[in-house]
Structure 1
Amino acid sequence: MIKKALFIALVSISSASFAGNFQVKIGASALVPSEDNNTLANGAVPHVKADTAYSFTPSIEYFFTNTNISTELLLATPFKHDVTSNGTKIASFKHLPPTLTVKYNFNNISQFTPYVGIGATAVLPFSEKTTGPIAGHDLDAKVAYGVAGQIGFNFKPKQSTHWGLFADVRYANVKSKLKLDGNNIGDLKVNPWVYTLGYSYHF
């Protein structure tokens, strides 16, 4: 009986310690492409850009014990972008941007915890559609990978044990190869800034 009680106590302590290393976040994000002058199809389709899109972006973060280091996996509901050439809509697509960053969380005596991070991102495009002058053609955007950076802060009110607010900005260097009717027509560079505001819950 004593051994059983000791085992249950150790499991409970371990579980509590493990849980205390996790934080979940739910935010709303604006994804703002910074590239606005792509040229496709050997110059036939100039000044191509993807527009700003909005989505909900949950994430889960793990804090390494006795360090200022954490790692965060950003997820999202799909972002939807229109694509224009010289201001005329020519296509649209949806995508998911899973992003993993390793973060350094700064110690301070206030309720704010600033952080910076660096990592990798992927763009998983789907539902590509053509419209306007290229309507009816088959557009295929390839999965793309890139480097991502992050800066932000978490704010925990004094009266809160677990809940907090956070805001951050991410930048990703990423582009997707495009095919039209099976033919390569070039890369769509997006290189977005992602602005996020939301709630955090630390277990």
Structure 2
Amino acid sequence: MKKNILTLTLCTILSTSTFAADYQSGDIVVRGGITNVNASSDHTSILLNNTDSSMTLTVDDNSQLGLNFLYFYSTNIAIEVLAATPFTHDVTIHDKNAVLNVDGAKLGEVTQLPPTISVLYYIENQSAFKPYVGLGVNYTIFFDEQFEDAPKSLGLSNLELDASFGLSYQLGVDYLINDNFHINASARYIDISTDATFDVGGESIGKATIDVDPMVYSIMLGYKF
């Protein structure tokens, strides 16, 4: 009899703890941590007067403070807004035919903000681990585009990158520490493509379509209100 009462008591405590920690409709979650934007390693061809040159470029990765804001419509469905401090990426030029002797040189820097709104679906379970999948839309804004001194000496100037609009796909998991705090890890792919234009010798003849298409990785600490 005592054994049955103890078992029932333990089950009740575990059940109460699980439901207390689970997300509920109306919950608001704020997360903060490190976010890394790892751009595609593909080489982008540089066009001069709409003709493929021997030169290509690549964009490196960057890590910044990442922020997430979530609102739960139900235990399973949440709306997430991804924000961050601006990411600054080095752009490297590659000259496979060594025409300008700039292979591997830093071409310049671009700074971007990739705000993303996603719908998340949490897979219901009775564990402290809460996995989810997400689908969203992204609008990336580029600014502070600038060439390095060496490219400027080659007559390159007036670098501009268009804003980008694309989809985002996400996998993630929350580990619930207690009723309020959790640790979050996520990986998402964002479709980011931008048209870059620049002047050569004062003439607007240079352009490239850059498929940034990054994987975005985040480790964050979250708090549920």
Class of the TM-score when normalised by the shorter of the 2 chains:
0.7 to 0.9
Q: Deviations over 1:87-128 (max 9, x none)?
A: 221111111000111110011111000000011111111110
Residue 21 (str. 1) matches residue 39 (str. 2): no
| 8 Å CA contact retained: 2:160, 2:198 | yes
Task: Tell me how far apart the structure 1 counterparts of residues 123 and 73 of structure 2 sit (CA, whole Å).
Answer: 14
Question: 2:81 is aligned with what amino acid?
Answer: L
| 8 Å CA contact retained: 2:70, 2:81 | yes
Structure 1 residue 186 displacement after superposition: 2.4
Structure 1 residue 183 displacement after superposition: 4.7
Aligned twin of 2:5 = none
Correspondence list, 1:43-192, <5 A: 43-44=52-53, 46-65=55-74, 67-86=75-94, 87-131=104-148, 133-135=150-152, 137-157=157-177, 160-181=178-199, 182-183=204-205, 185-192=207-214
**CA pair 45-27 structure 1, distance change in 2 beyond 3 A:** farther
Structure 1's unaligned 5+ residue stretches are 1-17
Structure 1 residue 75 displacement after superposition: 0.5
RMSD: 1.8
Question: 1:76 is aligned with what amino acid?
Answer: A
4+ long deviations beyond 4 Å:
none
Identity of aligned residues (%): 29
Question: 2:168 is aligned with what amino acid?
Answer: A
| 8 Å CA contact retained: 1:69, 1:105 | yes
Number of aligned residue pairs: 183
| 8 Å CA contact retained: 2:46, 2:206 | no
Larger radius of gyration: 2
**CA pair 38-132 structure 1, distance change in 2 beyond 3 A:** farther
Task: Tell me how far apart the structure 2 counterparts of residues 99 and 76 of structure 1 sit (CA, whole Å).
Answer: 10
TM-score, scaled relative to structure 1: 0.84
Task: Tell me how far apart the structure 2 counterparts of residues 184 and 99 of structure 1 sit (CA, whole Å).
Answer: 30
| 8 Å CA contact retained: 2:34, 2:63 | yes
Structure 1 residue 132 displacement after superposition: 5.2
